[in-house]
Each structure stands twice: as C-alpha cells, then as structure tokens.
A and B are shown apart, each in its own frame.
Chain A
Amino acid sequence: MSHVAKVDLKIKDIAALEEACGQLGLELMKGQETYKWFGSWQNDYGRENAAYHHGFDPSDYGKCVHAIRVKDANKQTYEIGVCEARDGSGGFVLIWDFWQGGYGLREKVGTGCKNIKREYGKSVARKEVKRLANKYGGSYTEEVNPETNETHMKVHMY
C-alpha cells in the first residue's frame, strides 16, 4: 500500500534540517536521490495532503534530492524524501509513505512528521535568535517548560 503524503512544512535551511534530524535520532542523507517506500503507486490515497495534489507525479514517488532515514533502522523501515517544492518557492518539502507507519518511521517522526516540523522550527528560530543576540551583544537562553513541554528561546538585549 502507498499513502504518499506531503508534510505541511517548507524547508529552506538544510543545515537546520540536519540539526533537527540529529535531535530525533534521524540522519539526513545528503545527495541520496531515492527514499524507501512501498515501491509502487496503488492509487489508494487522495486526501488533501496526498503528494500528487502538490505537483508530485506518482511516477516520481521514491525520487528526492536528499533523504532522511532512521539511524540504525532495520531494512524494512521506510525513509523520507526531501524534494524540491513544486510551487516555485525554491524550498524543499518532505514526502513520505506512511503505510504501516513506515515500519517504524512514524514512531520517530510523529504523525504528519510533526516531530521534524517541531525540531526544524526550533532549529531555525534558535539560529535567528542567536544571530540577534550576537548582533546586539545580548545573551541567549533556552529552557523547556515541563508543564507544557514548550521550548522558550529568549534573547536578552541590553
């Protein structure tokens, strides 16, 4: 079965994506031009986030610019394709097959790759906040609120 979906995330900073992957026990495989999935399109998934609704022809499923894999995964575990967005924006999007949870992939990345989205967002935000701190001679702090599990990134400018 194939349920190839596009993740609602636009990636413009590959270094930040690599950092996010590292936080989650994933590995960004730069230049890996295929990602592991069911292997053939079964025309069985057509919801709004289906990749073919976003400019990806099913014949191109499995092809990518970079790939993300689970570190030390078994041979069956699917991978995520990092593909050029087809909307002309110049960024990258994530494409993956979530059939059977990608055989262990979803446990790492969360439903809809929300864990990657979270860590990537934090990575980009952290970089920008630190840039501000350096520019204005301020200091940077980061802490997780244990009650909400939210990450608070702060730049203190004097």
Chain B
Amino acid sequence: MSKVIEIIADSEGNIRMIYDDNITPVLAELGDLKVRRASHVEPCEDGLGWIADLSPVCGPSIGPFSLRKDALEAEVDWLKSHNTPVPNGMK
C-alpha cells in the first residue's frame, strides 16, 4: 500500500503536518511542537458503521463507512485535500 507523508512550511516559518510517528517527533527539535486532534472517528449511533467528524478543523462529517479503517483513510484524504487545516484554537 502506498503512503504519502507531507510537510507544509508556510511563509512565516511555521510547519504543519498530519501526525506521523516517523517524522513528527524529529520536527519537535525545531521549536514548540503542538499536537492537536483534527477529527473524531466514531461509530454510528446504530452501531452499523463509522463516521469521520472533522469539526475540529471546521470540516464536515463524512461517512458512514462500513469499516473503521475506511473512515480513517477518508479522514486523512479529506485533510490532505484541504491543505492540512490547523485545528481550532491552535493558530
């Protein structure tokens, strides 16, 4: 399975990315690292699927997905396709 890790550097010198065990801790060396939740993947109320709630980044709820892993993948795809937005209260 392919995987893309993306790091975005803005013009002010701030760096953001979707958390990844392989690289985020290394970037903490740059300065003040903050890690915040960007979404919630939760079971549907009827227990028959999964929803990715992207409200922490002012995004929508997407799904339902029958598999949790599909909801997790959809969540990451949404974040990447929206320029990895910064969660509320983190700017």
Where the two chains meet, the residues of A that have a C-beta atom closer than 8 Å to any C-beta of B are 8-10, 12-13, 91, 114-122, 124-125, 128-129, 132, 148-158
Contacts and interface: CB of A to CB of B under 8 A. Distances in A.
A156 B80 CA distance: 14
Contacts, number: 82
Contacts of A116: 13
Interface stretch (B21-29, B44-52, B54-62, B69-77): B21-29
Contact of B7 (A118, A120, A153): A153
A114 B26 CA distance: 21
Contacts of A122: 9, 15
A157 B12 contact: no
Interface residues of B, number: 23
Contact of B26 (A8, A128, A148): A128
Interface majority SS (helix, strand, loop, mixed), chain A: mixed
A114 B31 CA distance: 13
Given A125-B27, A156-B3, 7 more contacts: A8-B32, A114-B13, A118-B12, A122-B15, A150-B10, A151-B9, A154-B5
Contact of B27 (A115, A119, A128): A128
